[in-house]
Amino acid sequence: MTVAEKPWSGRFTASTNEFVEAFTASVDFDQRLYAYDIMGSIAHAKMLAKVGVLTEQECQQIVTGLEEIEQEIEQGQFQWSVSLEDVHMNIESRLTAKIGIVGKKLHTGRSRNDQVATDIRLYLRHEIDLIIAELNRLLTALADVAEREAATIMPGFTHLQSAQPITFGHHLLAWCEMLLRDRGRLQDCRKRVNAMPLGAAALAGTTYPIDRAYSAELLGFDTVASNSLDAVSDRDFAIEFTSDAALLMMHMSRFSEELVLWSSAQFDFIELSDAFCTGSSIMPQKKNPDVPELVRGKTGRVYGHLHSLLTLMKSQPLAYNKDNQEDKEPLFDVVDTIRGSLKVYADMIPGLQVKADNMRQAAKAGFTTATDLADYLVRKGVPFRDAHEVVGKAVRHCIDNKCDLPDLELSILKGFSDVIEQDVFEVLTLEGSVAARNHFGGTAPEQVKQAVQRLKAQL
């Protein structure tokens, strides 16, 4: 493309260096914004017609042309040009080719600065809605498994050491709490995304009698950005979204770590569906949990994108700078990464097979009902610190004799404290331990089922 064909060529006398043209172009990645660019342009044209800058006939020509271009893109018939730099200029150039000089009137009263800021917000608003839908799907899958496994006993861990018996349903509901917080953050972020920059033009607004409130109404924005300088240069919303995504992926990584551990031969608590695992090229016995491992690995790229966006914005003077072109690739990749991770988990969790017998056996190891014995002694009037010492001695006896607390005869237990009676064995069983924690937020099966119902009501 010669300099004369550039939409901004009036001030220039020499063509852009060929490498610079490719280096500064963004169309290879920002073309995914085409639908939002067309949406924003249609709203802008209708607003210009409303205030009398365009005639109704001109507006209709522009709208029809843009709708036809959208069909061309969706049908793979649109020719993208690097020489036209970005999605905006490609679409505007094609519009002018289709409808003539009227197409050149579309950009009246706006700049690529407020145009791209609007496109990104429209895009991200839509993607947040899709991500929340995937979050809800995963939460529903987890709730269903939690309800099914409400009474399945497993060891609860601290320091990755067996601590107290819990139910598998209760453990999965802990995951749900994390995801609910993630959903809340995204919903809150969406409110700040949904502010319209269109009308800020390059940085100072425009001399045309635009109606920004009407444009916002057409595009479904809740508010209109109130300062033109900030409107075109703000990328806080993208950083906030990426920060929320980093937290979400941190949670997904923790889930992944547990699934990897639980599916190992050493734990053998669960089995993932074959559809979500792969084999080894050399070891025929292997079944590798590739999906959770990959999600765990993808967490790092989201963290990296957050740092990239923070660094991108940290030294920019007002208002718009070309640096901001670098916001899109990190943002697009974050969106793709978390949508993909949530989708694959929502598909995978319903097929999770629980090995209840193995979980139960593991819960019996490690003296997981020791705290229950201490609580029993306290209820009998023994001060907690004394009860703690008594149980510690009983555990030491079991270690020396290679047995567990429920295996001890009453006479031996009474040797540690004479307040111990036959009823102690009710609290030393795994079922008794989990059932005793029958309060809001506890691991008792009854509480798990109630928590599942509360969760489903939120979904």
Q: Are 259 and 292 in contact (CB under 8 A)?
A: yes
E strand spans, 152-289: 153-158, 161-167, 195-196, 223-224, 270-271
- Gyration radius of the chain over CA positions: 31
Report the C-alpha gap between 14 and 417 in whole angstroms: 95
Question: Cα 402 to the chain's mean position, in Å?
Answer: 46
Q: Are 103 and 65 in contact (CB under 8 A)?
A: yes
Neighbouring residues of 57: CB distance < 8 A, sequence distance ≥ 6 = none
Q: Phi, psi at residue 285, to the nearest 5°?
A: -85, -10
Report the C-alpha gap between 13 and 3 in whole angstroms: 7
Report the C-alpha gap between 244 and 240 in whole angstroms: 6
Going by the DSSP 8-state scheme, the letter that residue 288 receives in this structure is B
Residue 354's H or E segment, with its range, is strand 353-354
In the residue annotation, 159 being an active-site residue is answered as: yes
In the residue annotation, 411 being an active-site residue is answered as: no
Active-site position among 264, 280, 307, 439: 280
Going by the DSSP 8-state scheme, the letter that residue 371 receives in this structure is H
Distances (CA, A) of 454 to 91, 133, 181, 255, 430: 48, 18, 15, 22, 26
- One-letter amino acid of 140: T
Antiparallel, parallel or unpaired: β 195-196 and 223-224: parallel
Going by the DSSP 8-state scheme, the letter that residue 32 receives in this structure is G
Report the C-alpha gap between 343 and 276 in whole angstroms: 12
The residue count for the chain: 459
How many Cα atoms sit within 13 Å of 359 on the Cβ side?
A: 26
Active-site position among 159, 281, 315, 411: 159
Q: Are 341 and 252 in contact (CB under 8 A)?
A: yes
Catalytic residues, by residue number, are: 159, 280
